[in-house]
Every structure is written in C-alpha cells, then in structure tokens.
Amino acid sequence: MPAVFNWDDLRHLLAVAQHGSTLSAARALGVSQSTVQRRLRALDDALGRSLTVRTASGYALTDYGAALLPAAQAVEEAAKRFTGVAREARDRVSGLIRVTCPEPIIPRLMPLIERFQQTHPDLQVEFVTSDRYLDLARGDADVAFRSGDTDADLVGRKVADSIWSVYASAGYVERRGRPRDVADLASHALVTLDAGMAGHRVVAWLDEVAPHAPRVARVNSILGLLQSVRSGAGVAPLPANIADADPTLVRLFGPVPALTRSWKLLTTRALRREPRIAAFFDYVAAAEAAVRSILN
C-alpha cells in the first residue's frame, strides 16, 4: 500500500512539468537541482510508481504522472486560495476593541474615538469603565488608558502626563476659606477614596501630608471624588485635565509633583500584534497632540 506522501513534493513535480527539467525547476523554486530530484524520488516511492522519466532533453511526465497532473494542479490552486484567505483574515482590520479607562475621561475621549471609527468603519470601540485596574491578561479589556503603576507584562507607550492639583468648590471656599498650601490642609475637611481603592496614590498622599485632618467623605471612584468636591463637601486632589474645565471648582494649589504620573496606552504582548489593536495604537500615536490635550 502506498505511503502517505508529502504535499510539498507536488510543488517539485509541477515545476518539472512546467519547465521540462530538474535544473530549470530548481531555479524556479529557489532550491538545488539535487533537492528537486530527491523530492521526485520521494513522491515516486510514496505513490508506488514513477511520475517522471528522464529524456535526452530533460524530464517528462510518465502516463501515470500525466494522469495525476490535473489533480496536482488543483491542489496547488487550493493552497494558493488558502494562503490568500489566511493573509486576508490575518490582516483584516475589523471587530471590537474594548477600552478601559477612568470614567471621567470618557466624554473627553469620545471625539477622538469617533474620528477613529470614521477612519476604520469596520471597528467598534466599547468602553469598560473602572477606576480600578482591570486585568487585561485575563481578558477584562483589550487596551487601557492608564496612569500610575502598570503591570510589567503589558506593553504600550506613554501618551501624556497625568497631572493632579488640589481643588474645592467655590461654595466651600466661601464658607471655610481657602487653603493656600499643603500645610493648610490639616485644618480643612478632606474627601478621599475608600478601602476598595486604598492603594491609590491620592490616599497615600493625603495620609502623609494631612494625617489628622477630618475625612468627611470616602468614595469608590475618581468620579465620586469629583462629585463630592463639586458638592462642597470638602477638599481633594483631582485630575487637572478634568477639574480645570469645571467652572464650579477652584484650583487651590498645584500641580502636586508627588501625584504626577504618566498616562500610557497599554495592552498585552499577544494582542499588540492583532490588526485591530495595532490600528488603534497607530491612530493614537498619529493623534499624539490631541491625546495630550485630552489627558494632560
């Protein structure tokens, strides 16, 4: 019973049939003449009969080889179609991109995202909002706009600086006065983050500079921090890119160097090679100035 043959050997048979010699076939395939001859012998052995015969002018197909030629050509065409489909599927820029970021920056990012989707109509962006770091490796999201400490297993690029200052509402300043510097915080009501975000740099900084000042509210998100300060409950550090645009808030002092971090666009190493993720990274890089104006 004939052995199973190597599909790649058919390429050498087809090249010999087309060019009429093992030398010309070798040149066409970019291999040695001995390789072509060896592949032809392997194909003959696997199928149990000779497909070619040596002639005075080169090589010709035997009757058996001529009978198999159309089927071999069909295999070659199928392989070409498969390669084309595989390449198209690999390079197709379509699908869903799940972006995680702090909720307050989503409205500022939306114009950028809308322009991205106009450029790539087959891509859809979905926001996964959280003030806590979602696990990209576990698949909680595909990419993250993230400031502060990052997972060493993630890859990406810096896109802006995360700048924080200290704010209060105009109503609070009118009632309680205006703290002029860090030392003044000890005599003011502070808003901070709750135990669920105890590792956030805002909590650590307030605990360091004003450990005995009253905490009048503890919230579980940066958006909650913003809303509490806006309500007049107390004083807190806030992202300058958001708070400076709020007419109800007063910047008391800052930026605070201890709270400054880099904004990074991050993903996993595996996802970075995906066309849809690569397209998003390329777009953000090309829109660097616009991204800085959103996040700084």
Task: With cut-offs at 50, 70 and 90, classify the pLDDT of residue 133.
Answer: confident
More confident residue, 106 or 92: 106
Asked if residue 203 lies in contact with residue 193, where contact means CB atoms within 8 angstroms, the answer is yes
Asked if residue 234 lies in contact with residue 190, where contact means CB atoms within 8 angstroms, the answer is yes
* Same topology between domain 9-89 and domain 95-159+263-295: no
Distance separating alpha carbons of residues 213 and 209, to the nearest angstrom? 9
pLDDT digits (tens, 9 = 90+) for 187-245: 999 999 998 888 889 999 999 999 999 999 999 888 899 999 999 999 999 999 889 98
Pick the CATH number of 164-259 from 3.20.20.70, 3.40.50.720, 3.40.190.10, 1.10.1040.10: 3.40.190.10
Class of domain 9-89: mainly alpha
CATH number of 95-159+263-295: 3.40.190.10
Quick one: tokens of 249?
């808030």
Domain ranges of the chain: 9-89, 95-159+263-295, 164-259
- Nearest of 118, 108, 142 to residue 290 by alpha carbon: 108
Task: With cut-offs at 50, 70 and 90, classify the pLDDT of residue 248.
Answer: very high
Average pLDDT over residues 137-160: 87
